[in-house]
Amino acid sequence: MRWSKAVFVALAVLALGALGALAQGLTPQQMDQAKKIYFERCAGCHGVLRKGATGKNLEPQNLKKEGLTPAAVKAIITNGFGGMPAWGKLGILKPEEIDLMSKFVFEPVPEPPAWTFADIKKSWKVYVPVDKRPTKPETTRDWQNYFGVILRDMGQVAIVDGDTKELVKILPTGYATHILRSSKDGRYFYVIGRDGRAELIDLWSKEPTLVASAKVCLDARSIDSSKYEGYEGKYAVVGCYWPSNFVIVDGETLEPLKMVSTQGYVKSTGEFLRENRVASIVSSHFSPEWILNIKEGGQTWLVDYSHMNLKGKPINVKMIDTERFLHDGGWALDKRYFLVAANAVKKIVVIDAKTGEFVASVPVGNKPHPGRGATWDHPKYGPVWATGHIKDNKIAVIGTDPEGHPQYAWKVVKMIETISPGNLFIKTHPKSPWLIADFTVAPTPEANATLCAWQKDNLEKKPVCWEVPGARKIHARMVHIEFNKDGSEFWVSAWANKDTPSFIVVYDSYTLQEKARITGDWVRTPTGKFNVYNTANDIY
Amino acid sequence: MRWSKAVFVALAVLALGALGALAQGLTPQQMDQAKKIYFERCAGCHGVLRKGATGKNLEPQNLKKEGLTPAAVKAIITNGFGGMPAWGKLGILKPEEIDLMSKFVFEPVPEPPAWTFADIKKSWKVYVPVDKRPTKPETTRDWQNYFGVILRDMGQVAIVDGDTKELVKILPTGYATHILRSSKDGRYFYVIGRDGRAELIDLWSKEPTLVASAKVCLDARSIDSSKYEGYEGKYAVVGCYWPSNFVIVDGETLEPLKMVSTQGYVKSTGEFLRENRVASIVSSHFSPEWILNIKEGGQTWLVDYSHMNLKGKPINVKMIDTERFLHDGGWALDKRYFLVAANAVKKIVVIDAKTGEFVASVPVGNKPHPGRGATWDHPKYGPVWATGHIKDNKIAVIGTDPEGHPQYAWKVVKMIETISPGNLFIKTHPKSPWLIADFTVAPTPEANATLCAWQKDNLEKKPVCWEVPGARKIHARMVHIEFNKDGSEFWVSAWANKDTPSFIVVYDSYTLQEKARITGDWVRTPTGKFNVYNTANDIY
C-alpha cells in the first residue's frame, strides 16, 4: 500500500496538533514555581481549583470569555484590582514572577495535591511530652499578658512581654502564620499557618517552647481548642482550606484523631463543591461545641466533641444552611451569639450558641471584614457588635441583645462613616472608651498609615484620626489592634516589607497617646497580635 | 524546507498513536450500552467508579495486574464467580452483551454522570395533592394486611390483599424496585428503585394510588420515613449510592428539601472516597432520628430531623466510625438496638438508638446478609436477633439483651448449620414457632428451590426442609419470607425469569403446610414482599 504525500502531510499536521496539546507553554520547573506562587498568594481568595470565592473565577475558559489576555492579567497583578493587592507595585512579586503567573492562569487548572490522614500522622511531632511539661508556670513574667505577634513573612511568632515590652522568644512556625488562639487557661498558644501547619506553644516553661506540631492540611486558616467546662484544652480542631475538611486533634499533643470532609452541596440544594473550605472557627462556652463556617457552601456547622471518647469516636455535626462565602467573625458581648461575615453577599450571620439556632442574617456594607469584631455595651442600643468593611468606608454597629433591647436586635443600629474603605480590623476593650480601626488595605498610603478612634458611647461624634509617624517612610501599613491584659493600652503593627525592620506602636487606651514603640531587627512583617488573657477570654 | 520520508513516517506513526488513544475499542453506542448494563447489573457490587466494595475492584490497571484478559473476564461473567451470579448461564446477559462487558472493563472508567438538586426538583411530581387525598380509608379491604410485592424486572409493585390473596392493583414503579417501607401508620408505601426513583403509594384511596414521585439519585437502595412521635410521616430520607449522598424529602409529597454529601474518609482516618454509598436506613422509635449506614467509609450516621422546620433547615448528624462495607440490618426485638451487617469484614455492628452509641461489633460468618434479620425471645438466651450468610452455610443467632441476659449480649449464642450457603433472607413472627430461611443464591438449583424451618425455642433440633413443588420446573429461586398481619401465614416468592409467569406460595405459620398459591400472568420476577402492618411496626 502506498500512501500519497497528502496523506502524510495530513497525518503530520495531526501529529503536531497532538504534540502541541501535550506541550504546555510552561516548562515543568515553571509550572512548579507558578503552582507554588499561586498557592501562597492567590489560592486564598481565588481557590485552589480557581473557581473563585472572595476573588474572581480564574479558570482559563472564564478568563477568555471575559476577553482577558496574559498582558491584561499582567497589568492587573502588577497594579491590583478591586480588593486585590498590587502585587507588583508593592514589591511582593517580581516582574518575571508576574509574567509567569499571567501565563499560568491560562493553563488548565492542575489537580491539587492530596493530603491524607497518614500524611498528617507522619508529620506529627511531639517535642516535649505532656509529662515532661511544667505543672505550674516556671516564668516570673506575667505570662497572661504575653502577646503572640505574628511575623508574617518570616514564618515566625514572637512572644513579647506585655508588661516590659521585651522580646521573650522568637519561635519558628509555619509559612505565613495565620492566627493564634489561646487555650481556655491561656497556657497554650495554638498556631495555624496558611500552609496547614499547626503548632502548640507552651507559655508555662521557663521560656515559651514549641511542644508539638503537625502539618494538618496544605492550606488552612483556623484553629481553636475545646473550651467547654470539663473539656478545657482536651481537643483542638483545624479548619482546612485544602483539602476541604476539618481535623480534630488532641489538645495537648496535636495527635490527629479524626478527619471530616466538608466537600458538599451549596446550602444543601446547589452545586457540588470539591473546594468547600472551612473559614473561621470559634469555641462555644455554652456547650461542648465548635462553630465552623463552611465558606463556599454557605453552611455553619456546630461540631459537638463531647462523645469523642466513646467507641467509634462519634461527633455530632449540626449542619445549618446560612449564607455563602462565610469568612471571619466573633462573639457578641455575652459570648452567646456568634456573628460571622458572609463577605461576598454583604451580610452578617448570627448563630445562637445556646440554642444552636440560626437567628438572623443582617445586611451590612460591601465586604464586611470583622476579624473577631468589637463589642461593647452602648448606653442606648445595649450590647452591640461591630464590623468594618474592606470595600466600604463604613463600620456597621449591630444590636445583639434580643432580650433587653429587642427593638435593636439584629439590626444595624448605626452605620459609622470612616475616612476610607480598606479597613481590616476594629477593636475595643471594656476599659477603653474608644473603638479603634485600621485602614490596612485602603487605596492610599496616607490611609494605610492612619488609625481612627470613635467614642463608643457617642458614635455621632467625629472620630479622632491620626497618621502614625514613621509608618509611611518605611511603606508600612498599620494593621491589627490588640489590647493588653488590663485594657490600659493597645498595640498596632506597622506591616512593612520583609527586608525592612519595622515596629509595633503602643498607645494609651484612654488618652490615645503613644506610650512606646517595640522595635528591633526582629520586628519584620508584624501583623496579628494576640494577648493571652484577652484571647483566652474572648475579650474584643 | 523539505522533510524526509522518514520524518513523515515517524510523524504518521505518532499521529496514529494519538488517534488510537482517542479511538476506544468500543463505539460510542457500544460504550453507552455497556455503561447502562454496568450500571444496572455490576455497579451495585463493584461500584460506579469500579473501585470495588462487595465485589472486586474492576479498574483496568487492577484487572491487568491480576493477569486477567477479556477472554477470562468473559468466562467469569458467563459462569459466575464467588458471590457473583452466572449472568450468562442464568440467561440474564446475552453472549454478545457479555462480550461487550468483557471489553468495557478494560476501558478507562468513564466519569459517572451528575445528578443535582435541580435535577431532583425537575423530576418531582405530585399526582394527587395532599388535600385531594382521602382523610380516612376508602377501601373496605383490610389495607393493613396488604402486601406490597416487588415485581423486580417488571418495574412494578403489586398490591395484594393479604386476606383474599387477590391482586388489588399493579403500580408502575422505577426500574428494579429495591425495597418498600411503610409510614408509621401504614397508610403510605415508600418505594425506592435501584434507579433512584422514589415513589409514594397511598393505600387509603379506593384502590392503591401513586400519589407522588421523584428521581432522587441515579442509583439508590434505601428509603424510610420519620417515625418518632410528633413527626410521623413528616419527612422521608433516600439513601443514594450515586451520587453518594442522602436526600431529605417531604414525607407526604416527596418534595426535595435537603441534600447532604457522604463523600468522605474511610472511618475518619483513611482514604478519601467519592463513592461512599448510603446502604440501609432505619427510622428510630426512640428519638427523631434515622440511622444511615455509610458503606465504604464504614460509618454509621444518626441523622436528627427534628430541627428541619427552623431557619436554615438544621440537621444534626452524629458520625460514628463503625465497620467498613455496611450493608443491611434491622432492629432487635426491643427496637432499641439496631444490628447491621458489615458484610466484607464478617461482622455485625450494634448501635443503641436510645443513647446513640456504638455498642459492639460482633464477629459472624462469611458475608452476613440479614435483610432486616429475625428476632424472637429465646427461653435460654432471651431476646435474640439472627442473620444468615451468603458465603457460609450458617445462621448466626446473637444475644441482644444486655440488661436481662448480659452473659449472652452481643455474642453469637448459637451458630446454626444450614443445608447450603447462599441464604438471602430469614424471617419469623411472634406468633410463629419457626425461623424460616431461603437459599436464593445457593450454588445448586435444589437448594434454590428449598426452604428450611428451625424451631425457634429449640435450635438444637434438626430443621424441617422441603423443596417447593414446581419451583425448579420454572428455574425459580425461592426468595424472601414475609408474614401476614396476624402472623398466621407466611409468603415466599418464586423468582424466575421475566418471561415466565411464576408464583408466590403461602404457608401456614404453625404447620408449615402450603395453604395457597398466588398465580397469574402478572406474577413475574416477584422478590421482596412487604406486609403493611409488619413493615410499619418493624415486626420480623
Tell me the DSSP string of B440-497: TT-SSHHHHTEEEEEETT-TTSPPEEEEPTTTGGGT-EEEEEEE-TTSSEEEEEEE--
pLDDT of residue B1: 40
Of A76, A104, A132, the residue at which a domain comes to its end is: A104
Q: Say if the Cβ atoms of B312 and A261 lie within 8 Å.
A: no
- Picking from A48, A75, A104, the residue at the C-terminal end of a domain is A104
pLDDT in tens, B360-385: 999 999 999 999 999 999 999 999 99
User: CA B448 to CA A289: how far, in whole Å?
Assistant: 53
Distance CA A223, CA A208 (A): 19
- Distance (Å, rounded) from C-alpha A331 to C-alpha A316? 22
- Collapsing DSSP to helix, strand or coil, A406 comes out as coil
Q: Please check whether residue B257 lies inside any domain of the structure.
A: yes
Q: Supply angle C-alpha A46, A49, A50, rounded to 5.
A: 35
In tens, the pLDDT along A342-388 reads: 999 999 999 999 999 999 999 999 999 999 999 999 999 999 999 99
For chain A, give the percent of residues with pLDDT over 70.
Answer: 95
For A482-500, how does the pLDDT look when each residue is reduced to its tens digit (9 = 90+)? Answer: 999 999 999 999 999 999 9
State the complex-level ipTM.
Answer: 0.90
Are A163 and A230 part of one and the same domain?
yes
Q: Are the beta carbons of A200 and A208 closer than 8 angstroms? A: no
Helix axes A95-104, A70-79, angle to 10 degrees: 130
Per the CB < 8 A criterion, the answer to whether B422 and B440 are in contact is yes
The catalytic residue among B178, B285, B369, B389 is B369
CA A319 to chain B, closest CA, distance in angstroms equals 5
> Which residues of B fall within a CB distance of 8 Å from A359?
311
Measure the CA angle with vertex B512, ends B508 and B516; round to 5°. Answer: 50
Is the C-alpha dihedral spanning A60, A63, A69, A74 positive or negative? negative
Asked if residue B68 is part of any domain, the answer here is yes
- Domain-embedded: residue B469: no
**Mutant choice from B1, B9, B120, B261 vs A, greatest count of A C-beta within 10 A:** B261
**pLDDT tens, residue by residue, B482-523:** 999 999 999 999 999 999 999 999 999 999 999 999 999 999
Please name the residue that has the C-alpha cell 428521581. Answer: B215
C-alpha cell at B395: 445462621
pLDDT at residue A465 in the model: 98
Residues A317, B317: C-beta atoms closer than 8 Å: yes
Query: CA B408, CA A398: separation in Å to the nearest integer?
Result: 60
- Do B255 and B213 belong together in one domain? yes
In three-state secondary structure terms, B69 is coil
The 10 Å Cβ neighbour count of residue A82 is 10
Total domain count, chain B:
2
Q: Are the C-beta atoms of B232 and B183 separated by less than 8 Å?
A: yes
**Structural domain of A192:** 117-536
User: What CATH number does the domain containing A60 carry?
Assistant: 1.10.760.10
Among A8, A114, A259, select the one facing B12 at the smallest CB separation: A8
User: Is residue A328 situated within a structural domain?
Assistant: yes
CA A401, chain centre distance (Å): 27
Cα first-last separation, chain B: 84
pLDDT tens for each residue of A508-529: 999 999 999 999 999 999 999 9
Angle at B151 between CA B146 and CA B154, to 5 degrees: 140
Which are the catalytic amino acids of A? 42, 45-46, 84, 327, 369
The amino acid occupying position A217 is: C
3-state secondary structure of B447: helix
The pLDDT of residue A5: 52
Residue B294 pairs in a beta bridge with B278, B299
Q: How far is A117 from chain B (nearest CA, A)?
A: 5
Residues of chain B with Cβ-Cβ distance to A355 below 8 Å are none
Counting residues of chain B whose pLDDT is more than 70, the rounded percentage is: 95
Average pLDDT over every residue of B268-282: 96
Cβ contacts of B268 on chain A, cutoff 8 Å: 117, 257-260, 313
Write down which residue in B321, B336, B354 finishes a domain: B321
Intra-chain end-to-end CA distance of chain A, in Å? 84
Q: What is the mean pLDDT of residues A313-334?
A: 97
What's the rounded Cα separation, in Å, for the pair B310 and A320?
9
Residue A61 inside a domain? The answer is yes
Contact B358 A272 (CB under 8 A): no
Per the prediction, chain A carries an average pLDDT of 93
Whether pTM > 0.80 for this model: the answer is: yes
Task: Using alpha carbons, select from B149, B166, A119 the residue that is nearest to residue B158.
Answer: B149
Q: How far apart are CA B168 and CA B161, in angstroms?
A: 6
- Asked if A314 and B313 come within 8 Å (Cβ–Cβ), the reply is no
Give the least confident one: A106-115, A257-266, A379-388, B245-254: A106-115
pLDDT in tens, A230-259: 999 999 999 999 999 999 999 999 999 999
Other beta carbons within 10 Å of B508: 14
Give the pLDDT mean for B203-229.
Answer: 96
* 8 Å CB contact of B357 and A116: no
Q: What is the pLDDT of residues A425-481, one digit of tens each?
A: 999 999 999 999 999 999 999 999 999 999 999 999 999 999 999 999 999 999 999
- Tell me, yes or no, whether A198 and A272 share the same domain: yes
Q: How far is CA B173 from CA A36, B178, B214, B525, in A?
A: 53, 10, 11, 14
Question: Same structural domain for residues A341 and A442?
Answer: yes
| DSSP state for residue A90 in the 8-state scheme | T
Based on the fold, state whether residues A418 and A499 are members of the same structural domain. yes
Q: Phi and psi dihedrals of A251, rounded to 5? A: -70, -20
